[in-house]
Amino acid sequence: MSTRNHSHYRPKWSDREVFQPKQPIPRGQYISFSLTSFGVIFLAWIILSYGRLVDAIFLPTPGSILKVGWEMAVSGELWEHMLASVTTILMGFALAAVLAVPLGILMGSFKFVEAFIEPIINFVRYLPVSAMIPLLILWFGIGRTEKVAVIFIGTFFQLIFLISDVSANISKELLESAYTQGARKRDVVWRVLIPAAMPGIFDNLRMTLGWAWTYLIVAELVSAQRGLGYMILQSMRGLHTEAIFVGLVVIGLLGLITDQSFKVLTKLLLPWSEKAGY
């Protein structure tokens, strides 16, 4: 009898599910791997900073950063900058998503829509957003409207193209099978095409939201009176490295929260998605 059929057989490490491509792993294992990656980076940071292997002006200790962050939070300064950035992000990204999702689906599904708007989309999406900031300042000033415009331009033209690609790659056989069962065009679009495209759309929204933070910080570094990017720039001018790290950590945490929120929404709203189990 083969040893693989023996009741006491234990699989080799190479046979375990964790090493199998596209194989789901237990939730506990998934969290353990995630925490381990953070732990390795944090340990290296502790060794380099507390061991004085790197000067504090370049890499402050976690303790000093936590102290400065606490002081900024108590004074209200941190919350003021964070609220300004989050509000601007939500406004610019929401506007981009509301317009890009339906237009992207139409562009990927109907050739006449693609022929009409794709040349414009492809032209604008290759323009560096940072190069357009002076023009946007001229048009809108240095207030929130200019930063919302930066986020919108930076995400809309990329997002519509990504969503169009998702829609265009929906299996034609899937749509034709719905037609053969007597479905009308409207039903095929709303009950087949859009549900099939939604997992890919959520992935693209999640990815471009990360880009939105990049565009916001660039805009705030150039022209702002409030916001995390402005706070980082002012801290750099005063060589206040701890405050720079506070800003970076807050941005990273906000990004992590939004990223995990998209995962939760995928699980709740799109249970048919392959990624709903993570």
Q: pLDDT tens across 129-168, in order?
A: 888 888 888 888 888 888 899 999 999 999 999 999 988 8
Say what the pLDDT of residue 2 is.
Answer: 47
Query: What torsion do the CA atoms of 250, 251, 253, 258 make, to the nearest 10 degrees?
Result: 140
**What Cα–Cα distance (Å) separates residue 17 from each residue in 12, 221, 231?**
10, 46, 46
179 vs 260: which has the higher pLDDT: 260
**What Cα–Cα distance (Å) separates residue 208 from each residue in 47, 92, 190, 213, 259?**
34, 12, 24, 9, 11
Is 12 domain-assigned? no
Is 30 domain-assigned? no
Most confident of 32-36, 95-99, 259-263: 95-99
**What Cα–Cα distance (Å) separates residue 57 from each residue in 60, 68, 91, 240?**
6, 14, 36, 8
In this structure, what token pair is assigned to residue 160? 């519509």
| pLDDT at residue 10 greater than cutoff 70 | no
Q: Look at the alpha carbons of 185, 186, 191, 192 in this order and tell me if their dihedral is positive or negative.
A: positive
Is 248 domain-assigned? yes
| pLDDT at residue 14 greater than cutoff 60 | no
Say what the pLDDT of residue 69 is.
Answer: 92
Say what the pLDDT of residue 18 is.
Answer: 63
Say what the pLDDT of residue 180 is.
Answer: 75
66 — pLDDT class (breaks 50, 70, 90): very high
Lowest mean pLDDT among 23-27, 113-117, 236-240: 23-27
Task: Kindly state the average pLDDT of the residues 267-275.
Answer: 74
Most confident of 80-84, 186-190, 218-222: 80-84
Say what the pLDDT of residue 20 is.
Answer: 67
Say what the pLDDT of residue 87 is.
Answer: 92
Task: Kindly state the average pLDDT of the residues 66-83.
Answer: 92
In this structure, what token pair is assigned to residue 25? 């792993």
Q: What is the mean pLDDT of the chain?
A: 83
Which range marks the domain in which residue 156 is found?
A: 78-277
Is 130 domain-assigned? yes
Task: Kindly state the average pLDDT of the residues 69-87.
Answer: 92
Is 197 domain-assigned? yes
Say what the pLDDT of residue 8 is.
Answer: 56
What CATH number is given to the structural domain containing 260?
Answer: 1.10.3720.10
Distance, in Å, from the CA atom of 146 to the CA atom of 88, rounded to the nearest integer, reads 10
Name the residue among 72, 52, 77, 50 with its Cα closest to residue 61.
50
Is 49 domain-assigned? no
Task: Kindly state the average pLDDT of the residues 26-55.
Answer: 85
Among residues of the chain, what percentage have pLDDT more than 70?
Answer: 87
Distance, in Å, from the CA atom of 27 to the CA atom of 16, rounded to the nearest integer, reads 15
Domain count, the chain: 1
Task: Kindly state the average pLDDT of the residues 116-120.
Answer: 88
Q: How would you class 277 by CB atoms within 10 Å of its CB: exposed for 0-12, middle for 13-18, buried for 19 or more? A: exposed
Task: Kindly state the average pLDDT of the residues 63-89.
Answer: 92
Is 35 domain-assigned? no
Is 41 domain-assigned? no
Quickly tell me which residue has 């022929």 as its tokens: 115
Q: Which residues contact 194 (CB under 8 A, 6 or more apart)?
A: 105
